[in-house]
Every structure is written in C-alpha cells, then in structure tokens.
A and B are shown apart, each in its own frame.
Chain A
Amino acid sequence: MSKSDDKAQTVSEKAVEVSSSTRQSSSSDEGSGGIVVLFFFIGLAISLIFGWMIFPKLLYSQKKQPINFSHSLHNKLVSNGCESCHFFRDDGSYSGVPKLAQCVGCHEEVQGDSPDEIEFVEKYVQKGIEVPWLVYARQPDCVFFSHAAHVKTAKLDCKTCHGYIGESESLKTYYQNRITGYSRDIWGENIAGIKKNTWDRMKMDDCAECHQKLKTSFGSVQTQKEGCFVCHK
C-alpha cells in the first residue's frame, strides 16, 4: 500500500469522527443556536457602531481656523462678489485664499471692536505674518485643477462646488484626515459618501460626473473620452 492511500484512509476516519461528534453535541445542547445568533449580532453591532460612529471621529482631527472670519460680513462690503477677494491673477491663475497684503488695505488698523479683529490686526497685520488659513477645498497635490477653466470658460457658479460658504457668519471647524492630511470636505460630511448637493463632496467621481455629462473636454483624442491627464498631469 502506498503512503497516499494511508493518508486518505486516516482523513476519512477523522471525517467520520467529526460527523458523529456533531451529531452528539447538537442533540445534547439544544438552544445554543440562539446564543450563536446573538453573538453574531453583537459582533455586527460592534462593527457597525465602530465603522459609522467611532471611526469617523478617529479618522479626522478637529482644527480651529487661526482666527474667525465672517464671509457674510465681507460680502456685503465688496462690490464684485467672491472675486473681490478670491480673484484671478493677471496671468489667469487663481489666487485662492487671500494673502495678508489684500487684507491690509482695510485692516491696517483695528476695525470695530470684535476680539477676532483685534487679534488679527495685532497678531498678523502688525507683524506682517501670513495667516495660516486651513483650506477646506484644497485638492491633493496629484490633482491639477484650474479655476479659470471652470469659472471663466465653463461659467460655473462658485456655489456649484463651494456651496453657501459666502453667506456664512463664521468659519466651521476644519476636519483634517489623519492619514492623508487633507480636508474632510473632499470626502464629504456624510461618511457614507451620500450627497444631496453638488458641493457636498469633491472626489474624483464628482468631477467625472459633470465632465461625463457635459462632454466638454475630452482628455483622450483616441477614445474621445475623459483622459486621466485632464486632472492628473
């Protein structure tokens, strides 16, 4: 008899043993099925509670902006809407968050008596230090995004991507992803990734959604479809 035959026999003997023992236990421990199901649901609940409630809190650290800022207040004072401060440079590039130099025009001296204003002037304006604003909408470095193409050419409204931030009274807490270092606004407030508005999240799918629908810029000449190089240069 060969060795493999030996093994086969041993395995089949074991299989017989196992099946007999199962029979014995099931007949002796009735009702233990309920506890198994209970444990399954306990495990399920732990995971779901962790995944949906604890994990998001662990994933993002909360940061306060260096000073508070009211978009709504400033919006009332300027003539050209968002572009008054978030303007396009002469070369067509987008200035993004204003630099101190733009603020100094009005804020060389303390305006009004809000503590934030006093702090801003004393801490930053007088010392000539740039405010280290945390930018909610900043895309990762591997993404090329041109405001000019979207705002000037495609005539998109700021709200389409940024929502009603221009009407906000104060700056919301900045949630920073501990792994990537980027803002939570990219993934979106809703941890499941569900969005109600176009500005709720700004992942690749959200960009692609609009690009596919409008078919305005084809990245690939060969396939006449969106190419990777439109955004990932």
Chain B
Amino acid sequence: MKIDRRSFLALGVGVVAGNALSPVPAILTDDIAIWTQNWPWVPVPEIGGSAYADTTCQLCPGGCGISVRKVEERGVKIEGKKDHPVNNGGICALGLSGLQLLYGPTRVKTPLKRAGKRGEGKWIKISWDQAISEVAGKLNDLRSQEKAHTVAGISGSSSGTMTEIFRRFLTAYGSANFFHTPSIQDTYRLVFEFMHGKKADPGFDIENADFILSFGSSLLEGWGPPVRMLKASKKWKDTATKIIQIEPRLSRTALKAERWIPVTPGTEAVLALSLCHVIIKEGLYNKDFLANSTFGFEDYKAKNGEIKKGFKQLVMDDYSPEAASKITGLDPAAIILLAREFAKASAPLAIFGKGQGILPGSLSEAMAIHALNALCGSINRKGGIFALDVLENKELSEVALDGIAEAGLKQHKLVETPHNSSGCLNQAFSAILKGNSVNALLVLEANPLYTLSDSKSVKDAFDRIPFIASFSSFMDETAQYADMILPNHIYLERIEDVPLSMGFPKTVIGLSKPVFKPQYSTKHAGDTILLISKELGGSIADSFPWKNYEACLQHVLSDKMDVLKKKGFWTATDSFPDFKNAFRTASAKFEFQTDSLSSDLVNVKIEGDETYPLVLIPYETIRLSTGYIANPPFLTKAVEDTILKGKDSFIEINPKTAQASGFSEADMVLLQTPKGQARVRVHLEEGIMPGIIALPRGLGHTAYDNYIADKGINVNQLIGPVNDPVSGLDTAWGIRAKLSKA
C-alpha cells in the first residue's frame, strides 16, 4: 500500500463530488445574488409608516404649498399640495428636488468660526453660546466706539416677519443700512407708488387675459409661481389666448407663444410707447377709463403753473412707429399691427420684466409698459393687472432707541436715494469700495457674492469689511467667505410666514412649518437674532420682548395665525380689488408720469464700447435655480447638453455671427466683457438675434459641495450693474462682449 499522487487526486475528486452533493454551491450562489441586489451601502429609507406633512415651499418667490411624504422621520418625496390657491397639487422640478438640499452635503452643520484665510474653507466648530456671544461682543465693541451705523445687514427677501425682525434689529442697534436682494418686485412697487400713489404688488390675471404681451418675461420658464403658469398655459389653447413674446432670443416661452418678436434688447420701452402712439392715433384706447380715472393724459398745469406735456402729446411727438423702428429694429407695419391687435383684444395684458424677474430692471420701461396697460384699461380689471395692497400686518411695537442708536440712525447711509433704497445692494458695495466704512456685515439667506453682478467688485468690497457673519444653512459663496456662520434651519425645518406669490392676482400668505426635526445643530435665524439682542441688552433687548421667534410670529400674524395653522395659507379676499380706493395719488386717479418717460430715460444703456462688438445677455431657464438657493443635483441633471456639458458652459450664438468669426459648434472660445472673461463653448442657435450671445444664469458656483460647484460659468461675474437714474436699482440687461479663439 502506497499513498501516491493518484490518492490525492482521488481525494480532490471526492471533495469536488461531495461539494456538488452538498448545499454549498446553491446557497452561496443564491446569497451572493441577494447581496448584489441589495448593496449594503445603498441608502434605503427605514421601514415604517408613511405620512404626509404640509408646508410652504421657499425655494423661489412662488410660495407653492407642498406635501412632504415621509417614511417615519425620513423624507422621501416632495409633492404639490392639493387645493392650494397657487399650485393646486402641482410642483416644479426645483421644489421636487428640495430633499437634496435637506440631506445634501452642502449643509452647515454647526456654528463655524473661520480658522484660515477668508474663503480658504478652514473652520473651527464652535458652540452656539460662543457664536452668539462672539457676534454680540463684536457688535457691542462697535457700538461703544460709536460706530453703530457701520454695521450693515442683507436679507434675501424684502418681506416677511423674518426680514422685519432683521430690519428691526439693525434699527434698534443704530444702523439704517439694511438691504435686501433686489428683484422686479422693487421696481413694480415704485411703479405703483408713482402711478397709483400707493404701496402695492402686481397681480397678473393671466388666466383671464386673452392677449398677453410679454416684454421678455419667461412666462413658462420659472416666472411667478412656475406651476401656476404651466397650468395656465394648458388652458390658453382652449381659450384661444394669444401670447406674444418680445425678446431677442427664442426662449421656450417664445417657442410656445403665438408669435415671437425679436427686438433689439434694451429698447422694449420704446416699443411699448410706440404701441401707445398707434393706439392713441387710431383712437383705440379705453376712453371711459382715460376720461374718468386718469390724470396726465392730456397736457396739464403743474403745481408751479408750468404747462406740462401730457402722455398723449409726448407719445405722439417722440414715438411714432417709424422713429421706434429705427431704435427697436422692428418693421413699422409690425408695430402698427401689434398695437391694433393689443387694443382690440377684449382683455389685453402687457407684462414688464425680463426673464424670471430676478433683476429689478428699468423703472421707465416698467412705467411705459404699465401706461400701455392703462391705455387699454387693463388695470384692476378681469384679465388685467391688479395693484394688490401690501399687507399691513399688526405693527410690532415701537423700536426702543437709546442715545447710540439715535446717533447711528442720523449718520449718512451707505446708499441715499429719494425712494426706499434697501434694494440698491450693488450701490452699497460700490459705496464701500469708494471708502465708506462698514465694520460688520450680517447676511441672512442671501448670497450677494454669487447673485450680484460684477462679483469681483463685490468680493473686493467684502475684503474691506472686517467682520462678516452669515446665517446661511448652506456653505454658499458668501458663507464660505464669511468669518462666522450661524446656520439657520432650512425651510423644511422651520416655522416662518411666506408672504406673496410673485405675480399672483390674490394676496396670499403661506405658512412654512417644520416638517422635519433639525438635522444638525442649527438654530432658527429669528431665534439667533433674539438671542444676540438679549446679549446686547439695554434698549435693543427691550425691542424684542418675545421669548422666541414663534411668539413674535404669533404676535404679528395674530388674526391670521389660526387659519394659517389650519389651512397652511391665508388669502386676503376672493374678489379682485376694484377701482374703489384704487388710486391714492394727489389727483386720486391713475397718473401717467411723463417725466419718467423721456427719451433719455427709456433707453437703458449697458456697459462697454465699440471694442466689444457683441452683446451678452443672461437668460433664465426653469431647470436652473438662480438665486440664494443653488441648483440641486437632480435639477442640474435635467439641464440640456447645449447649456452645460461636463464642466463647460455654452453660449448661444447665431450661426451667422459665429460664421463671421469662424467659430463652429462646441468650439472653446474666450468670452471677454469689460468686467471679466471666461472660457465657454459655442452653441449655434438660429433662434437668437445676430450680434447677441446668451449665457444662462444659475451655473458656475464655486462654493457648496462637489455636486453643485464647478459647473459652468457664473454670468454675473461678467456683467456690471447699471443703476437706474430714478430708482437706483440695477437695470443691466446685458453687457457688451467679444469672443476670441481660446
């Protein structure tokens, strides 16, 4: 007997045979299959009951009602809230992506104090007590040096209790330098102040208008509450509503419109006044309304006895279709035809504002377009534009002021304009660059480093501010460049009132309710401000007698709070406002403000000279969030390859213009403007006027996280602000530019 090689072979064969007869192969195969289908690292919501929690979306000024589907404590989907006056069950792609903002890595998880250089991204985690006492300490020092007026505040919104508290805090502290991120709402408020004599917001009765003349408003691409607009657009076919889109580029709105009228950008006001010319000349205006409810149509005697040219004469003198044709680039016959169609429609409506209404725009242009509405009587009428009174909430008690505060408030403000200047944010930063000192800046839910034009100058101005504190929930560009971050809860975690839906024809207040427990060590910015004021003590603490923000909100909205808590929203009234008390001007009528419509005002010039042969215009799409809220990755996925591919932004350019310079599709080119330069790719597009190039807003973030940052170019860094001569607000609709081979 000898054990040899064959014995071992036999042993092996035996093992293999035995293995085949054992359950090992079958079970292992099965288990590995199960394992591969349930990767342990793929997140799965915990198992449990699902429930819906309602709140109000705050990702854009639309103010839609939302229902968040939760499985136990995990949010799994955001849906539109049924029976909500604004969106009735619908939701847009941005609203749908909100959970990525809640759970994404861009959140600021605890109070942070800068450790390295500014913007370097080195932070030390600090406790809330330390953060509040440090900010209060800093502010106290400035106060004791009688520098209270050198503290400035920026809020992302111009309305709401939160903004009110912030403004109140600065006032009690002794600074009048409160600003908010400007928008078209600021311009419209001035239009109503001048022409209606009252504080009002615009409400467009889109659903009942039958001829909508949009002066560049991206009605179907994120203008107003996007869901409302898309719902309305479905009805337009049945009601035979005509949409005429006036803008230099064939946007999605223009594509779906009855007619696209490309005009030379910046000359929209001239076109509007020329339409008025034709309507007056042919006697197509609403004679009843003009005779009974307007002032300044005919020549009139001013207070000083001087005879002033009325609207009629001004328009007849300066804005004939032939004259307008030379400026706008449109055929006079086309202007006449459009004017007739507009005036003869039963419910015509003209809408001012380019894109989604992110920029305030030219006041003269807004007034020219509003005058066009007035001419056809489309004011406070079904299918027209409503001046919705700005809600007067229960006043907070008088702000208590001590000696330092009173002295501070008397000091020179950063921006002095005859009107409310809090929207003139660009001017505030240029004032800082001119040498006005700001020793501390507090930023609430705003991202001026990204959203303001001429980002580089804003950054330079930031460098001159010794202390910047941000209340941001996200590591946005401004927060990243701050010295301290006191993170707010995000909209799904906090209680807050959400007033007004932009352009909605009813006054609506939504209530944002905490749907989730705070995910991290964040604090409601309202509570943070209350705590800082308590720490500062004295009259500042006296101005905030509430135990927390919620108590303050309850106080302000006392009469509406029950309805808000029950229904989630509050609407002013079901009937539209009428002519009773509609105008609170000196004449108690609608006033044509001819002073604001002179030819030197209506044409908005942009920056740059003839060395820049092209004109760069920014545009907005529903697939890119442009403001303080950065584009969540879900939404970026939906952006077309002709806008963003990999990390490259594309400019839209007419093939003729491109051909003249020898560029073809997808070429990398160097885009230069007086404000900066960027490497972009070329996308040939027939639907843009020759000589004009377009870049989308909402790309090119440098902060946040790896999923949001470094995608495309931020168009704001290429454009400089152009201040409106009357309002002081930013009116820049573009900038001159040139392209060269990169």
Contacts and interface: CB of A to CB of B under 8 A. Distances in A.
Given A89-B49, A96-B47, A43 B22 contact: no
Chain B: interface size category? 35 or more
Interface string A124-139: 0000000000000010
Contacts of A32: 1-2, 4, 6-7
Top 10 A-B residue pairs of the complex, sorted by shortest distance between their CB atoms: A51-B22, A43-B14, A47-B18, A44-B14, A44-B18, A43-B15, A40-B14, A39-B10, A43-B11, A179-B31
A51 B19 contact: yes
A91 interface: yes
B3 interface: yes
B50 A42 contact: no
Interface in A77-95: 89, 91, 93, 95
Interface stretch (A10-18, A68-76, A152-160, A180-188): A180-188
Given A35-B7, A40-B11, A193-B23, 9 more contacts: A32-B4, A43-B17, A44-B15, A47-B19, A51-B22, A51-B23, A51-B24, A93-B49, A179-B32
B1 A140 contact: no
A91 B3 CA distance: 72
A179 B48 CA distance: 25
7 contacts: A43-B12, A43-B15, A45-B18, A46-B18, A47-B18, A51-B19, A52-B23
Contacts of B4: 32
B15 A177 contact: no
Contacts of A41: 14
Nearest to B17: A44
Contacts of A95: 49
Contacts of B48: 99
A29 interface: yes
B291 interface: no
Interface string A12-41: 000000000000000001011011111111
Interface residues of A, number: 44
B46 to A, nearest CB: 10
The main secondary structure of chain B at its interface with chain A is helix
Contacts of A138: 47
B581 interface: no
A39 B22 contact: no
Nearest to A97: B47
A191 B495 CA distance: 56
B35 A180 contact: yes
Contacts of A51: 18-19, 21-24
Given A39-B7, A55-B24, A89-B49, A46 B2 contact: no
Interface of A: 29, 31-32, 34-48, 50-52, 55-56, 59, 89, 91, 93, 95-96, 99, 138, 140-142, 177, 179-182, 187, 191-193, 203
Contact of B37 (A40, A43, A140): A140
Contact of B11 (A42, A59, A141, A182): A42
Nearest to A53: B22
Given A47-B17, A51-B19, A141 B44 contact: yes
Contacts of B16: 43, 47
B243 to A, nearest CB: 41
A99 B8 CA distance: 58
A140 B34 contact: yes
A140 B17 contact: no
Contacts of B32: 179
A62 B16 CA distance: 29
Contact of B50 (A31, A35, A52, A93): A93
A70 B26 CA distance: 35
A177 B31 CA distance: 8
A89 to B, nearest CB: 5
B40 interface: yes
B22 A140 contact: no
Contacts of A46: 14-15, 18
Contacts of A45: 14, 18
B27 A43 contact: no
Given A32-B4, A42-B11, A96-B47, A180 B31 contact: yes
